[in-house]
Structure 1
Amino acid sequence: MSSKLLVILMILASKSVVTYTAVQSKGQYGLSRVDGRVDGRCTSELESSSLAYAVDTTGSMYDDFMELKKVNSWLLDRVEAKFPCGVRQYTMVEFNDPKVGPVRFTQSKETFDEFFNKLVATGGGDCPELSVAGIKQALLSSPRQSFILVLTDASAKDYSNIALVNEVFSLIRSTQSQVVFLITGMCGSFFDPGYTIYRDIANLSYGHVFNVPLSDLNKVFHYLDFTLSIPVNSSELLFSGDFTALVHTERFLVYGNFSSLMITTDGPINSLQLAGPVARTIHLEVLVSESWGSVRLLKNPAKGNYSIDINAGGVHAIRVQGFTATNISSAASCSECHLHALCEEHADYLQCVCKDGFVGDGFNCSDIDECAYVWTHNCSAGTCQNTFGSYTCLCPSGFIFSGGSCVPIRECDDPSLNTCHPLAQCINELSGYTCVCPNGYYGNGSHCEIDECQRGACGFGLECTKALGSYSCSDPCVSRTVLNEPWRSLDNPRSSTPNCDRSKNGWYQFVGSAGIRIPETCVPIYRCNTDAPVWMNGKHPAMKDGIVNRTACAHWGGNCCQWTSTIQVKACPLGYHVYKIIGTPQSMCTASFCTDPLAVQEVCSADEEWKEGDKGDRCYCKDQYKVSSLSDVRPQLTCGLDGMRASFQKCQMKELDTYFGRENVKDGGCFGFEDNSVTNTFSVLAALQVGGCGVQSYQNGSHVTYRSTFVVELHDGGIIMRNDTLTITLSCVYELDMITSLNLALRPIISSVNITVGGTGQFKASMVLYKDSSYTTPYEGLEVSLSSKTILYIGVFIQGGDTSQYVLVMRNCYATPTQSANDTLKYYIIKDSCPNKQDESINVLENGVSRQGRVSVQMFKFVGDYDLVYLHCAVSLCEVRSGACQPSCTSRRSQRTELDSHSLRIGPIIRSDPNSSAISSSHSLWVLLPTALLLLLIPSV
């Protein structure tokens, strides 16, 4: 009985009482803080976990001990500072080969530090060690809910001892202790059983396996510092898992008022993204992030469902804990917090937390001496000097700490001493410095950004204008200023008030009677109502030349090029030119740009360009439309879903001195017409509807050909006409599918609904009932009568919009005995995008992979006094870029981006079995509908 006695130490103080409870473990006790405060010096938080080390003491651990001894004291000091009133047990278990032990424990961190410093690495020989036996002894010798750290550089030798392994598993369940492995080596691969046993133990205890290089040991202790700073019983495990899949998504529920969530990982994690009920992307505070593991923190998480998207580089583990933090540095008011602590407000309490650079329990915070340990500062060169709440790196006089070294003070060597942009080149000079952006970048050196204009971002024939933070593209043929000033004509003499173009800056187009082009030859002085006329020394470019540079010359003092400047010129598609002018110099005002009154052009259409031809300078058909006789006219044929289109270029008729309009087409009432002034085309349209206006169709097993012929009688636009005719035959071949086959049916049984997608356009979704598995012969009429042996072939498809962005998903397809989609009697063919597996006649050929869906099912009759069947389908569009549109009906469903669903209905379908009325309901229940019976007994969702 005495071995189970609870020892209660009552420590009386002037204002309050602190109570500690002894926790028994195999005859040893670790004390745990229960409640209270002594003289205001102690916080009211619970104690942290007891700490146990299971240490491999074989000879190969010598280098590990040298590194571990440096950080052990640091870790224990920080834990004690955060729990100043705590009494915890420290346990040291040694394991070697062939024995395990000795086992030492103490409540004094100083004594425990001595245990660690006296460890000697010796013995061993073969690589694997008795790790599992060492873990067992640590579990037996430590209080419940202890933190057990296993230090080794080898795999387990005793992994095959089933009884020993099962005993360790049982102890983990009963003690609820957490086992974390710190491994600096192994005897084989990550998949050897001597190594995978570590992952099994860590997984069961919600611990981790950190396989780290020797140089990173101190980084792991930063993780341990945070973990050991968590009070016992203040956390709940929300998620735990070990994974071999490299890319996956996991979900968990946050159901309580937690002050924070901690997400810990081990193994190579490339990226980790958390989404929750409030935001799809949640920012996490990163405490540790290394290739071997990480610790991330989220404060004040909202209740609800969360998901973690993982992209990993190998085997890895994830643990998620929620902290209630009740009684952790809690305060009645913020005034209780230390001067160097922050007061954080949680759901139902206040918490005191020491600021960065300080350590403590929030009521007492002391400065951290970062210079005491090499891993807590970054002064690799120079001298570390501790400051209150931080530290500085000191260098000798005349030097500055930069990049871990003390270097001579030069502005370009220290970003804090210059204003150069990180991309700019900083050049030290005798007095100061200069900043120069690299080639291809825009800015003054203090700011540099990519110069998209230098990289040809706008493309051929467009002007690129760069500004800070942006760039813009413009077509000078569109973005220009029109100048219609008659005085610019080179025929105009100078008046008493001559003009000056000093303020002209930008792109300009000249129009009007004065001419549309700048002269290409020297203009006499005192012309164009100015003193020094400006002309262009060079030829005007063609459209194929894009934007070109030319020299502008001002004639003065007997010199045709007394003043020059560079201007830009572009030939525009409609037969005019635009000029980029940057004023005239102050010294030559008055000077103005002249125009040639002989250069007056018509405006060319889209299929024309200005060029020299056999009819003079005018707009001609572009080369691809050039014709010399009527026999050269070839309309462009377009085969659309709804019709055939023959498009004629109007410039061809213009060059042949003829006219073509709807009145020239014989039987014009059978066709549609379109006159497009933008493309300068005239089009004749023939609808894809068999039986009207001579449209004919021809079918084979896989394609259908539509053919239509029309005759055009041409004339020159006068009061008489010649016998010039064009006979045009349109012929389009379509693959015979569920959509094109509808044009061959007079009254197909079809149901359609319009779907509008913002920013994308409008789609039309249709459902059709087909006669066979080719899905090319639709049933016709208002209803259809079928036997119970008939197979129903149901096709669904979308038309219109940009179908390259979306695919069709059949979400729920079912039958009802009435027109109502909400009829309580439903027989599901497809449910949640997956087929009804209990009906072997259902065959889904296509769903979530293209613009159409196909499913078939054997005809049936509903049990009871029902003779009609109506088919309903709820469909939706899924974005192709999501990559997860095709339903996965054999494994966990993939998350996909679907838009709102829309319902379609076909019916009625009448069962036409002979003597159907004479069959009793019980007989039809088993004979006519054996499959439907099974599902009708299941409540519909």
Structure 2
Amino acid sequence: TGQLCELHVLYFCDCGLGYIFNHDCERAGMKCHLQANCLNFRDNFTCECRMGYQGDGQLCSEIDECGSGVHRCHQRATCNNTLGSYSCFCNSGYVGDGINCQDINECLVENGGCHANAVLATCINRMGTYECSCPGGFTGDGRQCEDIDECKDSKICPPITTCNFPGGDGLTCEDVDECLQMSQCHENALCINIPGSYNCSCKVGFSGDGLVRCTDVNECLLENGGCSDNAQCVNSRGSFSCLCPGGFNLVNRTLCRDINECEEQSEPCGLNEECKNIDGSYECPCQRGYYRPAANMDCVDVNECDNDPCHVNATCLNTVGSHTCTCFQGFKGNGSRCEDVDECSEADPCHSRALCTNLIGDFLCTCEQGFNGDGFLCVDVDECALSGTICPSFSTCVNSPGTHVCSCLNRTLALNDSCVSPSPLCDPACHARGLCHPSPAGHQCVCDLGFQGDGVFCSDVDECQEENVCPEDETECVNTPGSFSCVCRNGYTLEGTTKCVGEYMSMSVHVQRRLVQGHSCMDRFHFPRVLEQKLNKVQV
């Protein structure tokens, strides 16, 4: 006809499976709320409030997660309610995503803003804040430190000298390099000599005053130690390292680069599936137009794990038509909710002489005072072998688990320059040769010198079984309770005070003398009974 024809493109929108348009509900006599969805099940129309709202579907009200206390914000975070949801923000002085908030160690960056010129002020980190403190000989608020002029006191030096930095004779004064002397600073600190004094500064990776305290800095607490978001920061003494999870390669020590399995593997997915690389792994979703009704059929199955239905501390395993959630090691629960396992209360993983400290997803074992080890194995420190352990001259050091005692060798203990009876507070009571004494773990028993056992039961140590106890060929060892004696062998007698001679070399009465005190034990010499009988005949 000579008229132009217009092309009209027809299209329509359809709701997902299980849903219909709200106006269809209205035509069926069911009017849903603006924040509700209309559900059709076998021509039975119902209204259901959306996530973040509550009600019967026809009337829905917004849930205040912050006011009702159902939010998951950290105790150091602020909860902000929004329509249908909420958000978490860490408080000032803390860093994190609001669900997990960690204290910011301000002292790690430029000493926290504390005075840091010729004199380094001490920065002390606190929960959510920090403090600055000037060193000795200086005054100020820590951010600004000024030297105290001690020389203003005219009586501080003798009349013929001039007040100056330490060192010299007062007429010619030279700076003393204290850093050349031993043990000025902590073992993990650097000594810096300055005119008239010195500074102790903890090494990189440690924090403290540098003099008596330099503790390891946990770099992982601040911005994950510089590791990338999908890397695990592992703290070590004075340093740290970044570990990547499976499916990642570590680049430049801090960056975890994803492995593209779709390019490196040959046909990782099945028929009608497309390989989709994700962080640390890959997925094989169905191609457009396919679905998987069962595991042994073509693609139709929806992988519920894609919607992260499990707890943040759980792993998700997709199954046919469903899924399972399993909490990580160190957590317990049904997978939808995972709580930390307190290994210290449910079991006894540490050594009997160690303290157990529960951590999130882990635990820590620390040996008690007087013991060394990793907490799983604790070995007693022999204080008697240390140079700093001193007992009075009239006593002897006896090592005990976790401590030591000073024994007077007469079933008493040395205390305040005198010998006193052992404590009666041990339960069960100690052996007759045991010494009851206090220790970091409470009162305990230890066997006296020359005896062995646990203190509750003690048996004599046979020193004669050791080598070279009595080194002279003419003597033999005789064990006694708690000690031993070296006596002349059969056929030898004591001549003088220390020498054993043959039977017929000396028959004088002086052989009856006894050697009463040796260097380390009571050395007692005697002669055979046959020789005594011969000597008696000579005297008659």
Q: Which TM-score tier does this pair reach, normalised by the shorter chain?
A: under 0.3
Query: What TM-score do you get using the length of structure 1 for normalisation?
Result: 0.16
TM-score of the two chains, using structure 2 as the length reference: 0.25
Question: Which structure carries more helix by proportion?
Answer: 1
Higher strand residue share: 1
